[in-house]
Structures are given as structure tokens and as C-alpha cells.
Chain A
Amino acid sequence: MSDYKALIEAVIKGDIKTAVAETQSVLDAGSNARDILDKGLIAGMDEVGERFSKGQMFVPQMLRSAKTMKECMKLLEPFFQEGDITSKGKVLIGTVKGDLHDIGKNLVSMMMEGAGFTITDLGVDVSPESFVQKAKEVEPDIVAMSALLSTTMPSMPRTIEALQRAGIRDKVKVMIGGAPVTEKYAQEIKADSYASDAGSAVSKAKNLLGVS
């Protein structure tokens, strides 16, 4: 059995170069890809999660560890059948029409990607039509919308209506967030979930999809 200590350490540190080199070296030494994934990369990320929840690691470190894992996965992917490794879920995200603010939305994207979701980011000023069109194309599990202005918030229910008209509302979960947005508003417009910040967006998304 191979020793994954160095790989685990590199994942925890978010040291992409070392982690990729380690992954290659254990592969070359004949380790099984599933073994590397489970006992190396995932073991490292579990420790990262643990440390993060205790406040011993900060968000940038956690995201770098996630990025490190992703880079290592590129080496392992050829060894897996399609469907062997699944993402936590596909998320289509954007700031709604009329709104050009993207800091919060970007933080949410980053955190979700770090947590293992596959993100398609439509950027800012995204019309209901664009959301619908892209949703048809990528078939996301979640459509996530952000707004910073009370004046652009009505774009959220309009987008939900557009999803409905296109017949895909029941195929996706809708999440909303942004400074003026509230839980109550989410209920009013019949969104499926509301998150108050980037960290809770991840846990809400996991809840919606029933993944951990």
C-alpha cells in the first residue's frame, strides 16, 4: 500500500505543484486511482473541512485546497469510467437583469466550486431569457440568482416565470441571494432556497440536492 502522507499534506497546504507531482509519483509507483482519490485527496479535503470548521483554516486556504484537488483529479480522470466520479451538482449562476454587481455572486461561485459543485457562471445583467437558454443547454441542478439592488429584485420572479414557461422549472432548484434579499422574499416568489452569505449558500445547495 502506498503512503499518501505527502499528498495529503500538500492538499491541506493547497500546494498545487507538490500535490500534482505526488499524484503522478504514486500513480507511477502503481497505486490504484480510486485508492489515491479516497485515501489521498479526499482524506486531505476531509482534514481541510475539519480545520475550516474549527476556524483553524481560512476561506482562501480552503479554496486553494479545493483547487489543488481539482488539479490532481485531472491526472486521475483517465482511470475512471464516466459516472464514477460525480460532481456534487451543476449550478447555473448569475446576477439578474439590470444589476451589475458581482462580488457576492463571485464569492458564492468560488465557495460552491470549492465544495465540489460544477459552476456555470453567466456573469452580470443576465436576462430571464439567457438563464432559460443556458439552463436548457447545461441542464443544471440549481439555478442561482443574485441581486444587490431592491430595484432589480423583480428580475428574480420574472426569471422563475420564464423557467416555468420553458417547462423546466420543476427540473431545477432555484436559489436566490444578495444584500436586500430575504428568506421571506424567497418564499413570496416561490424560490426553493435563500442563502445569506457564501458559506451558507454551499450548505443550502447541499440540502437542496440532498448531498453532503
Chain B
Amino acid sequence: METSLPFYQPLTPDKAKQIDRTGRWILERVGIRVYSNTFLDKLKKAGAQVDYENERVRFDGDWLDEVLRRAPSRFILYSRDGRNDLHLGEDNAYIGNGGRVFRILDMATGGYRLTMLRDVAHTATLVDHLDNIRFYVIACQAHDIKPVNYHLLDFYYAFNHTTKHVMGGCDDLHGVQQMWNLATIIAGGEDKLREKPFVSVITNTISPLTIDANTLDILNFCTAHGIPVSCAPVPIAGATAPATLAGTLSQMHAESLAAVAITQVLAPGAKVLYSAIPTTMDLRTMELTMGSVETGMMNAAAVQLAKLYNLPIYTSGGVTEAKRPDIQAGFEKGVSNLAVVTTGADCIRLTAGMLDSGNSISYEQFVIDNEIIGMLYRIREGIKVNEDTLGFDVIKSVGPGGNYVTEDHTVDHMMDEFFYPNLSVRCNFDVWEERGRPDMLSRANDLVQKILEEGREGLLDHDLISEIKKAFPGSRYI
């Protein structure tokens, strides 16, 4: 994506350096707790300083730099049809939804309910249709399926309803193996999946400064099999990180770098994103506030920190505390999106579909966010300035008092200079009245109905589904 935008830097270069230095001190002097002797051994063998008694790994600065240099600064997260490949590390911004919430605002009933497997299918269909949402994160938990085949099913429903790149969390090694077996069948073999991975796995560190054995097993499996990974700390300022933003960023930076370094010890060159979702807490009540303005600011700053290491960055934006797609949702999303998108992040997640501090989704919010994200891409493109766009010749030829409507210059540029919204009100007042004064939510609901009714049902072909059934006998949901 060509952009004239000088990327927004929430920190001056020397302040960013101070945070980076503090993060590195944390890794050198405090270290990360790793709950697994197997991985402590691996890290020790690779040259990290390991304190077995306290399950602590410390990262000497030079060693850290050497390990981090193995991480690719650019790679591709593939889509299955090649139409939405995500080229990371090339100054592109790709914006997606967020994952594994447990509640949905159901417009059919007007109330909230627990999310089900069908919501995975529906949200995947929505993302598949909504052009601006460029990848799909398995959006919610399926309360109606048992743990035994959980990740077989949630990934299957995702793959069957979108060809965009799918990301998802896995509960354990068993789950990630299940996902990989499924993806291998769909890819047509292990080598093909490794060559063009159309799925990646999301993991998290535990703030402060801990990575558990389960996460390491998943990272180990994925990096060994060429599945791209992210491992994001989610520090909460004032609770699991210092109450100061700089302190939270320093600790987050240490955790993010440690996660990247560990993947490069496990499999040098493994595809990994520097990931971060720094958040805050409302200390008046101890409510987690992922929709706070400081969350937006810190996610923007995380991008700047990742760029110091030339790593593709996976951050978040557009989260709101609002429980419905309402005024609060609009302005909280707007403010945080703007802070994050202008920094030059590669992947931004949580931006589509979420409400309620990342705990709920709404189908309508997906289509509303699709429109907001369209505006964000427009901002990222910036204002194109060249001889043609400056328009001297056309200004000269139209002259004072004329108009530009039918000029070649207008027709040549009208498609690529402007973002054309689908949902927002732009008609004149009379037309708006004639249409019955439609509001955003009612229009969003209409669009959701249309997409779900027209939605391509079952993207995987029948032979493939038979093969999957054969490989996983006994699952009644496939």
C-alpha cells in the first residue's frame, strides 16, 4: 500500500529507546518465568541463563539480539483463495476481528446470550463478505460443543465459511494437533500447508512475566510445523503491570520480545509476530477496560517498539466498553482506531465485531466496523501528491467560475480518491425522511440479514468434507 502518511509516533525516539532499554533490563535482571523443565533445558542449551530453582530464564542483551535477528522481518499470512494474502512487514495495514468472546448481542431477540458453534459460522461468513476485514479470528466460544473435538470443530466451521486467513487460539497441544490435522487435509498435504499457511495460532503470555508450559507446547508444535504464531502479553496497567503507561509498556515489551526469542530458539526463522495487547483497569472499580483511551495509546506505542526490531507487529484497536453498537461504541472505537492505525501496524485485531470490553460480539457491529475500517484504510493511504493529483492543468483549463464534474481528471480520480460508505447516512434530509429515518443499527441489521441469507454455505467441497469425516469419525457436526 502506497502511503504518504508519516507514521504517527506516540513516543519521541528517545522515550521509545528508554522503554526498550527498560524492557531489556527486565529480561536481563528479572527474567521470565517458564513453567517447564523441558523448555528450560532447551533455552539453556541455546545459551539463555536459566535458574532452575526459580524457573526463571534471563536473556543477556547480546544473546537476545542474536536470537531476535533470526526472526523474519517479512512473511505472508495466506488466504485459501489467494485474494486476501497478508504481506507482513511491507508497510501494509491489515485489520481484522477479535476472538473467543463468550456472549453475543442477538438482534433477533434483542438480548444477550452465550455464543454457539453457529456463531462461529455466521461471523466467518460476515468476515468473508466484508471486504475491509482482511482476516478472520475465530470470534467466539462454542458453548454447545464438548472439549474433545473442540478445535476440530471451531476451525472446521471457520474454514468452511471463509477463505480468508484464519487465526485462532488453541487450548492445548491436543487442540492444536487437531487443528493441524484438519488444515493439512484442506491444504492437500503437510508440505502445502507449510508452504502457504492459511491458518495461524494465537497464544498469550501471562502477565507479569510468565509463559506457561501449555503455551510453550503450542508454540513448539506450530513453529516445528511452519504454522505462524503470535504470543501476545495482555498486561493490565495497575493490576498485572505497573499503573504507569511507561511501566506497562516496558513490561509488555519484555514479554513480547521474550516470546519472539523463544520461538526463534525452538525453530530459527519461524514465522512470528511481535504481539501486544496492553490494557488498563478502571481503578475506581477494578473493571478491565480494553476500551479505554490509554489502551489505544499503548497499543499505538507497542507498534513503535516492535519497529525498533524490524518485526511484523500484531496489535489491537477499536475496542469499546459499550454494550451495544451505540454512541459510546462509535467514539471509543474511533479514537483508539485512529491512534493505532496511523502508527504503521501490520495486523490490527479486535477491531471488528466486538463490544463490552472484548467480552461480547454483535453481528451488526461487524458490518458497522467494516465501514469504520474502510475509513481507516483511507487514512493509511494518505493524501497522494504528484503532478497529476495537484491538478494544475485541470484548474487552468476549467478556470474561474467553471466546474469540475465532467472533467476527465474527475472521472480518472473519483474511484481512488474517495472512500464511499455503505451504511452511513449521506442522503439529504428529505430523502432520509422518505426512507423512514433509518438509523445505523437498523441499516446494519438489514445488511447482516442480507449477508447471512446470501452467504456462501459450505465453502469446502464435498470430497474434502468426506475426507475430513473419514479422518475424524464420529463427529456429528461435520
Contacts and interface: CB of A to CB of B under 8 A. Distances in A.
Interface of A: 14, 58-61, 63-64, 67, 106-107, 110, 183, 196-197, 200
B411 A196 contact: no
Contacts of A107: 405
Given A60-B405, A60-B406, A110-B405, A197 B411 contact: no
B428 interface: yes
Contact of B403 (A64, A110, A183): A110
A64 B405 CA distance: 9
B interface residue count range (under 10 / 10 to 19 / 20 to 34 / 35 or more): 10 to 19
Nearest to A13: B411
A64 B406 contact: yes
B430 interface: yes
12 contacts: A59-B405, A60-B407, A60-B410, A60-B411, A67-B406, A106-B403, A110-B403, A110-B406, A183-B430, A196-B428, A197-B430, A200-B431
A61 B411 contact: yes
B327 interface: no
A197 B414 contact: no
A99 B320 CA distance: 47
Q: DSSP class of B's interface residues: helix, strand, loop or mixed?
A: helix
A59 B429 CA distance: 20
B428 A197 contact: yes
B411 A64 contact: yes
A196 B410 contact: no
A196 B405 contact: no
A63 B406 contact: yes
A35 B463 CA distance: 55
Given A60-B414, A110-B406, A196-B429, 16 more contacts: A14-B406, A14-B411, A59-B405, A60-B407, A60-B411, A61-B411, A63-B405, A63-B406, A64-B406, A67-B406, A106-B403, A107-B405, A110-B403, A196-B428, A197-B428, A197-B431
Contacts of B411: 14, 60-61, 64
Nearest to A197: B428
Nearest to B415: A58
Contacts of A61: 411
Nearest to B430: A196
B64 to A, nearest CB: 54
B21 to A, nearest CB: 53
A78 to B, nearest CB: 26
B202 to A, nearest CB: 38
B423 to A, nearest CB: 14
B417 to A, nearest CB: 12
Nearest to A68: B406
Contacts of A59: 405
Nearest to A194: B430
Contacts of B428: 196-197
Contacts of A14: 406, 411
B447 to A, nearest CB: 15
B419 to A, nearest CB: 14
A14 B406 CA distance: 9
Contacts of A58: 414
A116 B24 CA distance: 72
Interface string B374-415: 000000000000000000000000000001011100110010
